[in-house]
Structure 1
Amino acid sequence: MLAPLSWPAPARAEVEPGDLTLTVTPELNGGANPYAREMVLLRIHGVYRQPILLEEVIQPPLANFTWTQLGRDHWSKTRLPDGQTAIAFDRTVAVFPHHAGDFTLEPFIHRLTINDVGARKVVDVRSAPVPITVAPWTAPTGGPDAPEPWWLPARDVSIADSWSQDPETVKIGETVRRTVVLEAQGVVAEGLPPRPVMRTRGIITFAGPVTRETIITPSGPVARATYVWDVRPGVPEVIPLDAIAIPWFDTVSRTQREAEIPARQIGGGLPDRETGGGGTAVRSSLLAAAAGTMAFGLGLALLGFRRDRTSLRLPKAQRRALRDAARAHDPAGFRAAVSEGERANPELGRRWRQEPATAAALASLDRAVYAKDGGDAPDLAALARVLARSRPAPVAASAGRLKPLDGPA
């Protein structure tokens, strides 16, 4: 599609060699030849001394590649070595080779309508052909062509695991929801693995739909998949859930790695202490057994105290994840923990965005993680403390309701 440009520039006498240049540079992960289905970024850069009236990029056929454009085209002014100014054009395209082999990308063409001595003139600016070698997988296991395990080449992979309530407090016949969010950098959503199998003796699982999304950033796509299960224990014994390993290929270090959905236990635990009163209720029952009427009065006082302290707070796992990422000076890991916290408690996430100082710190974090040129991350340790603080719950959420005497619903 032709795009009109309104870029003020003086008319030149005529088009001279070197006035219009277009280059395509492949950006290889770790400087190594990619494997099949591994992302390669094509940086398309044009420098034009002539004033441009209209422009159209004609992309060559990419028969052996899947591709996606990352963001919009970027136009800017640039100063050349001889001191003159020119117009700079930038576009980034991510390509994913289908199989191993030696390939040559045909030239990209930038069709420009320029002002040449006051007359409109159409010029095709061509890039040079780009050779790309896709390496065969030689390791004894895995790889892009193996049906198992799933081939996941990415710059980084993170996993967030959350439960609608502490699984150790779930009783036989009750249902708890488990949500696992898998996020991979340098991958499109279609490249993420299918929902892992979560099956063990003594539980019934109902798998929900898988949601996938691709977030386009200047540094490449970020893919996110959300897997959901409803879990119901069918036996009164403690049920262990084993960890689930998800292998992935680190495209930066060129090594095979593993991400892990952590092991958990269903049943066999005390009431969730995150509710702000479960441990107190247990101690009150013990005192009641020993002291009778005195403990009964204490229990009533504590119940009233619990009603007054209704609040919004991040689960312990998310608070720990924020602290760990801050301690490691890992803005990307910190942002993933923030996203998981917002999913676990949407109302609390809205509160963060309503607090000007907190919202500004989160915006600074987003720029540091996702912006093309990055930026200075905020004080992660201080931000972790702010996000870990409890906030008062909405009045409508607790008005007119008495909590059950036997613990959390």
Structure 2
Amino acid sequence: MVIRLALLFFLIIVGCARAETLRVLVPDSHPVAGEMVGVTIRGEYTQRIALETLTFPGSDDYDWVQLARDSWRDERVDGRTMKVFERRIALFPRSSGTLTVGPLVHHLTIAGRNGGREVLDVRAEPVTIQVAPFPAASAPLAARMLTVEDQLSVPPGELRDGETLIRRVTLRAAGTLAHFMPPRPEIRQPWLVSFTAPEARGTKLAPEGPVTTVIWEWHLHPKTGEPGVLPPVAIPWFDTVSRQMKTAEIPAIPFGYASFAANRTGSGEFPASEVATAAGVFSAGLVTGLLAIFSAATLRRGRELKQVLKRSLLLDPSRKALRAAARQDDLMALRSATEDYLLRRRTLGLPVAEGATADLDRAIYAAHPGSQPFDPGSFVRDLLRRKRRRSSKQTIS
């Protein structure tokens, strides 16, 4: 009799243990490389569980992120009330081919009938997913939705003289991770000075999948008043809802100073800027004539005189541009004028102090703009004074 009771008790324990099941559930779909695959890990348990641990396995074949906290609830399964465990995972295949997920082991600590505890491991068999190649030659970018927001600080085709345009582009994509988003595009033109702010990337989790945001910002300043056009930037992506390739676009924008067009369509009077330009051309012609006369007398002395005249403060237009940018209190224009000034000095073989733009760069790209006081006028005066001090030292030596 005792043996029969022991055997019955053993069969009951084995039956309960076999009732514990763990499965990996994947949708019946045909994802492409980079597309999110919703994976659900489901456990059905009859035992009283005191502790549990489940680690989702990593792999070189996919990226993954858990979408929400684990769910535990009571549910009737085949007429029995069971404790149901669920974990939702977003899986992103890195390449095409057969993708294997698992096996998984749920380590359980169950409460025994006599008050003790027992360890029970429940195993889920591996599942396979057939992944199709990404349907384009571009880097894989698959999402349920992708939007582009282009914000401009001022109308780009009507800039005031010396004004800088701040362009901020925001990409939002649902159903992908940050590293699948494209890199920042280059905005470069021969007539344009461009500075970039640090890129911002972030991902927020939602029940239907992660939502990723990328923010790019440029500070754009034309070198001349002549208008131009910044070309559009195409971003190819795969729409997982329509199952088609689409193209998002950062639109093209016209770019230039409003005064350029006004100067071409004005009345019979010449604008002050054109008068100044004409005077500069006349002065340059006069100086060129003098140089030609002197060089005819002696080539060596002509070259020396040419260098002296080029180094003369009276013929240094970059100094005027520096002071004008400082008066406008436009740091990006001041940065461009400073580069022109330093380039001229390097071209003429004049000394240039190291770190000449350090204070200005900190003022432009500080994490908290305005946290440190910066006076454009003092910066320009110090820059010019530093040049004179270095020149005088070389003369004395």
Partners of 1:179 and 1:168 in 2: CA distance: 16
Q: CA deviation at 1:17?
A: 5.7
Matches of residues 259-408 of structure 1 in structure 2 within 5 Å?
259-267=248-256
Cα deviation digits, residues 22-71 of structure 1 (max 9, x gap): 1211236xx22x23333222111222222110000033452422222223
1:43 correspondence with 2:40: yes
Corresponding residue for 1:27? Answer: 27
Corresponding residue for 1:54? Answer: 51
> What is the SS of the residue equivalent to 1:167?
coil
Partners of 2:222 and 2:57 in 1: CA distance: 56
Cα deviation digits, residues 219-266 of structure 1 (max 9, x gap): 111111110100112332333223221111112222110011122223
Q: CA deviation at 1:90?
A: 1.5
Partners of 2:208 and 2:247 in 1: CA distance: 23
Q: CA deviation at 1:131?
A: 1.0
Partners of 1:51 and 1:192 in 2: CA distance: 45
Higher gyration radius (CA): 2
> What is the SS of the residue equivalent to 1:35?
coil
Corresponding residue for 2:94? Answer: 98
Corresponding residue for 2:145? Answer: 156
Residue identity matched to 2:245? Q
Corresponding residue for 2:70? Answer: 73
Q: CA deviation at 1:201?
A: 4.9
Corresponding residue for 2:84? Answer: 88
Partners of 1:169 and 1:85 in 2: CA distance: 71
Q: CA deviation at 1:76?
A: 2.4
Matches of residues 240-251 of structure 1 in structure 2 within 5 Å?
240-251=229-240
Residue identity matched to 1:205? S
Q: Percent identity?
A: 39
Count of residue pairs brought into register by the alignment: 246
Q: CA deviation at 1:192?
A: 0.7
Q: CA deviation at 1:197?
A: 2.1
RMSD (CA atoms): 2.4
Of 190, 200, 215, the residue aligned with 1:211 is 200
TM-score by length of 1: 0.55
Partners of 2:222 and 2:71 in 1: CA distance: 55
Q: Note closer, same or farther for the CA distance 1:269–1:75 as it changes in structure 2 (3 Å cut).
A: farther
Corresponding residue for 1:122? Answer: 119
TM-score by length of 2: 0.57
Q: CA deviation at 1:162?
A: 0.7
Partners of 1:173 and 1:27 in 2: CA distance: 58
Q: Note closer, same or farther for the CA distance 1:64–1:54 as it changes in structure 2 (3 Å cut).
A: same
Corresponding residue for 2:104? Answer: 108
Residue identity matched to 2:174? Q
Residue identity matched to 2:22? L
Corresponding residue for 2:245? Answer: 256
Residue identity matched to 2:35? E
CA contact (8 A) 1:172 1:234 kept: no
Partners of 1:18 and 1:165 in 2: CA distance: 69
Q: Note closer, same or farther for the CA distance 1:195–1:111 as it changes in structure 2 (3 Å cut).
A: same
Cα deviation digits, residues 354-399 of structure 1 (max 9, x gap): xxxxxxxxxxxxxxxxxxxxxxxxxxxxxxxxxxxxxxxxxxxxxx
Q: CA deviation at 1:182?
A: 0.7
